[in-house]
Amino acid sequence: MSNSADVKYVYLFSEVKQAEDLVGGDWDKVRGLLGGKGANLADMTRLGVPVPPGYTVTTVACNAYLKAGEKFPPGMWEQALEAVKSIEKDTGKVFGDPKNPLLVSCRSGAKFSMPGMMDTILNIGLNDEVVEGMIKLTNDARFVYDLYRRLVQMFGSVVMEVPDEVFEAVLTAARKKAGVKTDAELTAAAWQDVTAKFKELFKSYTGIDFPTDPNEQLRLATEAVFKSWNGKRAIDYRNASKIAHDLGTAVNIQTMVFGNMGDSSSTGVAMSRNAATGENELEGDYLENAQGEDVVAGIRQTDPISALKKRAPKIYKEFADISRKLELHYRNMQDMEFTIEQGKLWLLQTRDAKRTAAAEVKIAADMVAEGLITKEEAVKRVKPDQVDFFLHPQLDSKAVKDAQEVARGLNVSPGAAVGVVALDADLAERWAKGEGKPVIMVRPETKPDDVHGMLAAQGIVTCRGGRTSHAALVARQFGKPAVVGIEELELDLDAREMRVGDLVIKEGDWVSIDGTNGIVYLGKLETVVPDISNPDLLKVLSWADEFRTLEVWANADYPVDAKRAREYGAQGIGLCRTEHMFFESERLPIVQRMIMSKAHSDKVEAISELLPFQRSDFEGLFRAMEGHPVVIRLLDPPLHEFLPGHNDLVEELADLKIKLQHAHDMSEIDSMLEQIRIKQDYLTRVEALKEENPMLGTRGVRLGILLPDLIKMQVRAIFEAAIACLKDGVKIKPKVMIPLISHVNELRTMRDILEAEAKKVIEENNNIKVDYEFGTMIEIPRAALTADAVAQVAQFFSFGTNDLTQTTFGISRDDAERGFLVEYQQQGILDDNPFGSLDGDGVGKLMGIAAELGRKTNPKLDLGICGEHGGDPKSIHICHKLGLNYVSCSPFRVPIARLAAAHAAMADKK
């Protein structure tokens, strides 16, 4: 290590090159050395952007200071004083000189933005003499005393830890004395008094006089920043965010500029593009003769940035050029803070701007067209969640503009919901289910007892709770828009109303919630579904397709779904659930007859009646998919699902028996008895089919083995449909899939049945050649663990991760998502709901075992996923890493999956 006295601890903003050289040109290391803010200010300075001059004390200095028991490392302070001299030279002002005083700010700046660190101290360099001098210079005693009292206040509270409340008490007293309501109405004399009082306070709390020496102020402020690195809040935050404790913070000292020095001064914020729409136009607000905090506080009506164009076209042009320059440099839309001090434009900060999903997509597409970023960058920039925005209802932005905002809270579950307020779960359910009213359920917080109301409601609002509160978790689980933790919201359950300040909303009144942004509005606002065919979105998605290696297929049961899936970019059907077709009104009675029949011949006859239906279903799918693969899963659900419910039957029987008592003639009695007999038969069958744990019961392949005739019928329907297509010259790629196997022998049995029946159908049709594949779902741990054996029979695996998650975790989704899974997430036992996002450590590991074993047997084994996870970005990432060939998801989530698959491939390349 070099002699620490030789170490350069202080860098002027203009010395960025030297910092870069020190760390070998690595910008990440520059940020490590100068902190994020310091590096950014230096970077802007190098670009020639007008930044108020200043310097940065490095993180190395901070660490040395802390290590040495809160002592500056040798040479550091001297370097800092040198830097002040340099600033004086640049600005022509002198630190502590009443005739032309230099004032500076002091801010912390670690490598990563970090709450809990020391905030800003402004106006360093003021003391009684400098104040006198400045009043002469500005001729504005009120302005100068306001600066002075701010310095004393900030110095007291931030550096010396005097409770801010005592300063606030003085301000309140001063307003009262002056008989005014706001600080803005206080006179110069009043501010002078306040400043004097603040100094007294300072002395009585700290035991020392307020330091009048500007260098002493600077030194104390610098030390305060260093010390704040080891403050409790900062340490807690680093622990929670897994940020290393040895990074240290830098200190940024920067010349003060003032937007409130007359009419040629102003201050504002602006974005380089429109954050709502993405239009390429400077957008923002500013205030003449004002300070930054006035813009934020919203007390005065701001002017749009376009007004500057008229009033000061030259400055506007300079600003627009800078904006463009920054966009070019950072290759992203910028969010800039600026101040104009007596006609001179200064940039105080720039950063990548926040924007809506719509804007993100448009900007990404535009910037590629402008040559600013590559397609790859454009794809990376759009988040899958932002694509989701295009698929779900949102509040209409026009309606929102005129709507009254009730309150803001945490945006824990996205989307819009509109309904009448219900203040408890029972009422929410009664109104929603009983009267068909859309309901927004509002509660102080939610508990497991409230889940039935939450499920019935359109959306959820709570007064308490954070991102992992019960309400937030359940809302996300079930896709209900929700705003939680609105602290100013008061519920009065006696009066059956809710209040925010003076606003009173009665139970039953309409409200609209924007879960995407965490806002509640009054009234019944219009909602819109953003357009998935947005050309910019289509562009970004088509670029995504160039980068991804995973194919994206869709789960679709009907030709209409298949068509939509194709429009959204699906490359195949990964799951056609044949049983859904059994529930249609003309078919269900036949299915029931099949289940109820006692004689084998009756059963077979009923099954054969289903054949034409299934054949035409499959033919439609094949035609819609035009040669793309179609995975048809043979019958999966347990038989009882096709029969009436047990309780319904018991009630119907009881009713019939009562009616029988009031029958009038023999024919009526006979008819009643016949009905009772039929219902009784159903009840007997339903009871016989009843299982302790239906999730683990007689369904999937187990049913197929017990009912081979049904399998034969389905196979026949598939092959007859295939042959009908082939005869018409329609290309087809059928894949037959067996669900729920746990042992390869189950699959063997099914294959034998299938091959025999397929052979028959083919022979009946002049031996037309039908290419097909035979495969299985992997949704039971045992199937995954013995995948090497299974792959001897299966040509493809499709991971059914819903059931695989249930069996691997040993949990029943129906029960758990409303029960202990929520508790688990609240207690932090699980990070995610494993049904929402694939559990990589457990379920993912098992999938990896299956993939490896399967491919050991058959390197060409086709691997996919058809559980709901197939549409979840995090899960898609895992699927990519596991080397799957495709993910299959709901048609609506196909665009999200396309993007997520591209992201996964890109991350993998890195």
Q: Which residues are designated catalytic?
A: 470, 866
Closer residue to a copy of itself (CB): 452 or 499? 452
CA 561 to chain centre: 27
CB atoms near residue 868 (< 10 Å): 19
Angle, to 10 degrees, between the axis of helix 666-689 and the axis of helix 588-596? 80
Closer residue to a copy of itself (CB): 250 or 744? 744
Closer residue to a copy of itself (CB): 642 or 824? 824
Measured at the alpha carbon of residue 520, what is the angle toward residues 514 and 524, in degrees to the nearest 5? 85
- Three-state SS annotation for 823-836: HHHHCCCCCCCCCC
Closer residue to a copy of itself (CB): 464 or 743? 743
Q: Which two tokens stand for residue 850?
A: 């299956």
User: Alpha-carbon distance 665 to 677, whole Å?
Assistant: 18
Contacts with a copy of itself by CB under 8 A lie at 691-698, 702, 705-706, 740, 742-743, 745-746, 749, 779-782, 785-786, 789, 803, 806-812, 814-816, 819-820, 823-824, 827-830, 839, 841-843, 845-846, 849
Distances in Å between the Cα of 870 and the Cα atoms of 547, 560, 809 are 18, 20, 19
Closer residue to a copy of itself (CB): 540 or 740? 740
- DSSP code of 667? H
> In the complex, what is the shortest distance from the CB of residue 365 to a copy of itself, in angstroms, rounded to a whole number?
42
User: Alpha-carbon distance 656 to 636, whole Å?
Assistant: 34
> In the complex, what is the shortest distance from the CB of residue 781 to a copy of itself, in angstroms, rounded to a whole number?
4
Q: Reduce the DSSP state of residue 426 to 3 states and report it.
A: helix
CA 874 to chain centre: 12
Closer residue to a copy of itself (CB): 518 or 697? 697
> In the complex, what is the shortest distance from the CB of residue 871 to a copy of itself, in angstroms, rounded to a whole number?
23
Q: Which two tokens stand for residue 673?
A: 């008895």
Closer residue to a copy of itself (CB): 586 or 841? 841
User: Alpha-carbon distance 685 to 668, whole Å?
Assistant: 26
Closer residue to a copy of itself (CB): 816 or 882? 816
Closer residue to a copy of itself (CB): 515 or 834? 834
> In the complex, what is the shortest distance from the CB of residue 610 to a copy of itself, in angstroms, rounded to a whole number?
22
Please choose, from the candidates 492, 490, 484, 491, the residue with its C-alpha nearest in 3D space to the C-alpha of residue 465: 484
Please choose, from the candidates 507, 469, 384, the residue with its C-alpha nearest in 3D space to the C-alpha of residue 895: 384
Q: Which residues contact 863 (CB under 8 A, 6 or more apart)?
A: 796, 797, 798, 799, 851, 854, 855, 882, 883, 884, 885, 886
Per-position b or e across 25-56, b if 16+ CB within 10 A of its CB: eeeebbbbbbbbbbbbbbbbbbbebbbbbbbb
Q: Reduce the DSSP state of residue 582 to 3 states and report it.
A: helix
Closer residue to a copy of itself (CB): 336 or 777? 777
Q: Reduce the DSSP state of residue 350 to 3 states and report it.
A: strand
User: Alpha-carbon distance 489 to 443, whole Å?
Assistant: 10
> In the complex, what is the shortest distance from the CB of residue 657 to a copy of itself, in angstroms, rounded to a whole number?
15
User: Alpha-carbon distance 463 to 560, whole Å?
Assistant: 43
User: Alpha-carbon distance 32 to 23, whole Å?
Assistant: 10
> E strands along 448-595, which residues?
459-462, 482-484, 489-492, 497-500, 503-506, 510-514, 519-522, 527-528, 551-555, 573-577
User: Alpha-carbon distance 41 to 250, whole Å?
Assistant: 13
User: Alpha-carbon distance 864 to 349, whole Å?
Assistant: 47
> In the complex, what is the shortest distance from the CB of residue 823 to a copy of itself, in angstroms, rounded to a whole number?
6
The number of residues making up the chain comes to 910
